Chain A
Amino acid sequence: MTDIHDAIKAQIDANPVMVFMKGTPQFPQCGFSSVVVQILDHLGVDYHAANVLESDDLRQGVKTFSDWPTIPQLYVKGEFVGGCDIIREMFEQGELRGFLEEKGVPVAA
């Protein structure tokens, strides 16, 4: 498990906005994952996505890495922000844009 955790850590360190999801941003394979990438696209955020369906190690590893049992998972500047419910709530309540800006992530006007 430590190898996959190292790989996950490297990905979230290398990408200021990193999403672990089912499917790809172009072809999400789960409604919850789809919501998160739609919100990021809407805000014009540049993000990197990893498809956990491509690797069972990654799919299980990302759950133990963050002690979070579900996919999708969003990380900003190395910090776990939440899954679909939390991202949607932050977006609906108008907090997500401010949160990203505070973290120094460029957001479309």
Chain B
Amino acid sequence: MSFHNDGQIGHSHDAVKAILRAYGISEFTFSVADSGIENTTFIVVTPQEQYALRVYRHSKKQDGEIERELAFMDALRAQGMPIPVVLPNTKGEQISIVSFDDKTWEALLCEYVEGVHPTAYTETLIGRMADLQAQMHSLGAAFDSDNAPTRHLKHLAEAEFVKRIDIARLRSTDLQQLIERISDYQISIDPALPYGYSHFDFDAGNILVDARGELSAILDFDDLQYGPLVVCLGYTLYDILQETSSVELVRAYIARYNKTRKLTPNELAWLPITMLFRHYVMVALRVLNDRTDPYDVQKYLALEKQLMTLDLSD
């Protein structure tokens, strides 16, 4: 039982070559920087420059969605946020649509930004991330507000991974019950919560820090959507908690975030709910990828208990 990244482009030289042709690049070497669920990123090196080439999962997105993603990135960059520039192809377009292997692929070529993914959440990094996320949320609430979509995030329910898990094959009864809880976790989101566009995957895996430890880039707006901003924050806080096990760091993040964008009491009350949901999504994905040994299961259960009783009120 494992989750394959269906619809991802192959990691072959021919595949990258076919896409780079749209940019007039023929001489290059490449490496795979990241092959996630939603896209594949290649680092491309030419005799003159380095680039990051992102190819979306086949049939994943409509052009309009990628255009909105680019417009949002532009809006953030215009406010001084560290967002890589998306470069035009030979037709002057930012989105390249390329045929390869009998399929059509959408790709973006971005400037290469020096940096690595941080290996730990330090207090300094958390402070900077909180500032930027709060700024992003303030901008996201105002972004394209006249055209807020009618179809947007209204429920929290894991429907992607859990249905692929064969519960009967799981050896641990505790894990079976956990998967059932994940499957049953369906929450209607309070429409009174502040909504806006945001990243919804803002964590260490999607930022870069430079040699001085400064946050140099926010990457991968692939999960951009219009939804309750507290959900985006909850996803980030979940990652901090599961990486550090420190509620104090989570509280420090919230305190710093509040300096730029003050959370409402209702948003604060919703944070543990969104964090638990994120935990459930991540557990479902890990179980799908056979992370089911007893040590993993105990960690899943312990964090679940912690999130169920987490109180982040002042």
Bind each other: no
